[in-house]
Structure 1
Amino acid sequence: MNHPPPTATPAPPAAANDVLQGPSHAQWVDIVQQLGAEVAGPLSNALERIHNLISTGQIDRQSLRALRESVAQARESGMVGQQLARLASGRLRLSRERLHLTQMLRGVLAHRSRETQARGIQVRQVLKPVEILADGALLFSLLNALMDWALACTHSSIDLRLELSSWPAKARLSCRFAHRSLEMIADSRGGADASNRLDSLAWRLVEQTALTMGVLPLREDEAGITVLTLEFPHTAGDEPGLPEAEAPPAPAAPRDFHPSSNSKPLAGSHLLVVTPRRELRTQLQDAVRHMGLIIDVVGTVEEAMQFCQDGLPHGIVFESAARGETLDELRAGIAQEVPQFSFIEVLDEEHITQLSTATTDGVARIARKHLADALPSVLLFEFSKAL
């Protein structure tokens, strides 16, 4: 008796992460190998300089700067790898919020303005007002990853354009820059170097964050010019129950920001700690170790001001002893560029935990004894203000 051929088992419903085909096992192997290379290379250079220092007992200023840059490169690669691991973990739970993409992008550009100015890079923007439906935290990460990649690759300016396609209505964000300088267009070695920068871990992070969100990344590299277009599939107003003219909802009460079940919920975010006390530094780092933050530490507010000259972190945690005119000057200068910037004060004495929305000066406050329990939730809320 002939049996009919077995019917194909219907595929399970797509999860939030499955809007577009994710990378294969082989692709993740390539990403891991690339991570190892981008971490090992700078660390090998640093180790060579350290051995030279040990053998000679001397190091000049240029070598010291090169040593610091090598360690910084390795750290940045490690943090990008941590963000990629978060995307690959399968533990992400994507939300779907109505977000003003134009305003968020302008906020990211304002936050990065010191960095772009320090590098002498002009960011030109033509941004039409667009609202989309997406996960706010991942969108924020995507826009920052895009800027990290473009700033590392450009040899001129960066042109950003945000517009809506005619039909069906889709938001399209394009980023255009010259990845090779004019004098190196005919140089094949320059082309190889540019290709390595374009296909770096920073690009992998842009690509995989976009795919995780269901955003289509289309990249074209031709004649020394790179154009990346990100196409967002869901614009506000293109689905039942979400009319285009509907006004955004009024701000709600702060959400319950318990530590997230997502792995490394703040992976890639940058926190600056201001305190000369080693034991407090250790306590702060231990409290947020699971969050994937990039953490830098300085001893004084003056050092914090110097640190912020070339680029802003996403938030600053300082001990109460640092309060004074210098801190007020730092806060005022940053507020002119990024009004929602996060400052968190740590007090030695007993104090109820306060979010920035509950204080008259917009500074969040937390007692040192509550750091382990409350600081992760406070950071989740404070950093979410940028979304």
Structure 2
Amino acid sequence: MDTLNLTLAATLGEVGAPVAPTAVDQHDDAADLTRWRDLVAQIGAEIAAPLTAALERVTTLTATGRIDRAGLRSLRHEIELARNAGMICQQLSRLAAGRVAQSHERVHLTHTLQSVLAHRTRELQARGSQVRQTLQPVEVIADAPLLFGLLNALLDWASACAHGPIELIIDTKPWPAYGRLVCRFPHRPLDEAAGIGAPPPSAELDNIVWRLLEHTAHAVGLTQKREIEGAYVRLTLEFPRTINPLLDEAAMPATLERDFSDSVNSKPLAGSHVLVVSARRDTRTQVREAVKHMGLVLDFVGSIEEAFEFCQDGLPNAIVIETVLKGARFKQLASEIRNEVPDFVFIEIDEQGADFQISSISQTGHARVSRNAIMSALPSALVYELTRAM
């Protein structure tokens, strides 16, 4: 018996005894540390660069007391770049820490991409980005808001790096029958020499938006492959959890049935962009406090005219507006937006009425939140309306 015990102890190790890390483990730890160190340095650089440019403009403004419209537009753009980098950093932190609660459901990938493209038409046009679509109908099992965030990150990355038209393709591989999303665009000007002596791929391809795209694709459970084809870059995302229309629900893999859920209460909205139209400081403060835990990007304007100007270059994901500011100009703005994005989210802050009225039972198609219930009801209203629209 003693011999047997000694043999087991030698084979399995004494209970509670520390196991020395292997050379492979140490190599992996060192590689992970290097990747995170590089990522932190990259985030710092991408936040510092636009802030440095903005600070120079502010210094000039302080010295001269003047700034023209173009300079003001550039200042706003630089501040927005820094803010967006900070928001991406927060999203990366959540993904890396595994704090994203997912609710898997059946999602139409093609319709979701078309919705994202419709939502961002103004912004893409303002950037001069041309998108060519070849889309077959494909349904997948995924967390809808996380997929929505992935597609937005894909557009952010492509539109920032493309030097020509962006091609988007959705189809299904013959075997295995996985849904596939392909994004292809020139990453450098096409008139640059190709072949021997051609410049290497631009470092811009590995910006922090790409890091967010990588981590989000991993969280969704996708297989990703990025290839350089001369002046073009090609990203392929494969969806292992693809609905096969030839199979009935009973033939679905058991793992999908276990994960399937219609719940929307825990879906993350981090990174969603909300424009608040309010002329009153106390209302702005209440809104900011009510949603500060949600990871939203908030912008505030004080009038409908300012909202018009704000939306010219791109639409937010939702508009929250005080009912007292509604009028003919707001109806015009809402009509123009709904013509582009039929399910766009509007939430009115009413002086009276119920704590929260959903959009589907409202005569205007807008959700309503009582002014006295902003703190308690506005977060729920945003969760319900934004996840419904995704």
TM range (shorter): 0.7 to 0.9
Q: Secondary structure at the match of 2:183?
A: strand
Change over 3 Å in CA distance of 1:196–1:160 after alignment to 2: same
Of 295, 300, 308, the match for 2:311: 308
Aligned positions of 1:181-330 closer than 5 A: 181-185=189-193, 191=199, 195-237=202-244, 241-243=249-251, 257=265, 260=266, 265-330=268-333
* Alignment match, 1:6: 11
Q: Indicate if the aligned counterparts of 1:176 and 1:228 stay in contact, CA closer than 8 A.
A: yes
Q: 1:86-122 CA deviation, whole Å, 9 max, x = no partner? A: 1122222222211111111111111111112222322
Change over 3 Å in CA distance of 1:280–1:174 after alignment to 2: same
**What's the CA shift for 1:360?**
2.1
Q: Indicate if the aligned counterparts of 1:185 and 1:223 stay in contact, CA closer than 8 A.
A: no
Change over 3 Å in CA distance of 1:183–1:290 after alignment to 2: same
**What's the CA shift for 1:82?**
1.3
**Aligned mates of 2:291, 2:193 — CA distance in 1:** 46
Counterpart AA for 2:210 = W
- 1:143 is the counterpart of 2:148: no
Structure number with larger C-alpha Rg = 2
**What's the CA shift for 1:242?**
4.5
- 1:155 is the counterpart of 2:163: yes
- RMSD value, Cα: 2.8
* Alignment match, 2:93: 85
**What's the CA shift for 1:321?**
1.0
The total of aligned residue pairs comes to 361
TM-score, normalization by structure 2: 0.85
**What's the CA shift for 1:135?**
1.1
Q: Compare relative contact order (CA 8 Å, sep 6+) and give the higher one, 1 or 2.
A: 1
Q: Secondary structure at the match of 2:128?
A: coil
Q: Secondary structure at the match of 1:226?
A: strand
**What's the CA shift for 1:41?**
1.4
Q: 1:221-263 CA deviation, whole Å, 9 max, x = no partner? A: 232211100011111139884558xxxxxxxxx9573xx4x7x
* Alignment match, 2:44: 36
Counterpart AA for 1:142 = L
**What's the CA shift for 1:59?**
3.2
**Aligned mates of 2:71, 2:249 — CA distance in 1:** 61
* Alignment match, 2:380: 377
Counterpart AA for 1:99 = V
**What's the CA shift for 1:354?**
0.4
Counterpart AA for 1:221 = I
Q: 1:162-204 CA deviation, whole Å, 9 max, x = no partner? A: 1111121101100011111124457999957x62221001100
Q: Indicate if the aligned counterparts of 2:194 and 2:230 stay in contact, CA closer than 8 A.
A: no
Structure having the larger proportion of residues in helix: 2
Change over 3 Å in CA distance of 1:62–1:115 after alignment to 2: closer
Counterpart AA for 1:362 = G
**What's the CA shift for 1:367?**
0.7
**Aligned mates of 1:134, 1:373 — CA distance in 2:** 29
Change over 3 Å in CA distance of 1:185–1:367 after alignment to 2: farther
Change over 3 Å in CA distance of 1:51–1:133 after alignment to 2: same
What is the identity percentage for the equivalent residue pairs of Structure 1 and Structure 2?
A: 48
**What's the CA shift for 1:386?**
2.6
* Alignment match, 1:18: none
**Aligned mates of 1:204, 1:72 — CA distance in 2:** 19
Change over 3 Å in CA distance of 1:334–1:243 after alignment to 2: farther
Counterpart AA for 2:278 = T
* Alignment match, 2:119: 111
**Aligned mates of 2:371, 2:199 — CA distance in 1:** 52
Structure 2: 5+ residue runs without aligned partners?
16-27, 253-261
Counterpart AA for 2:90 = Q
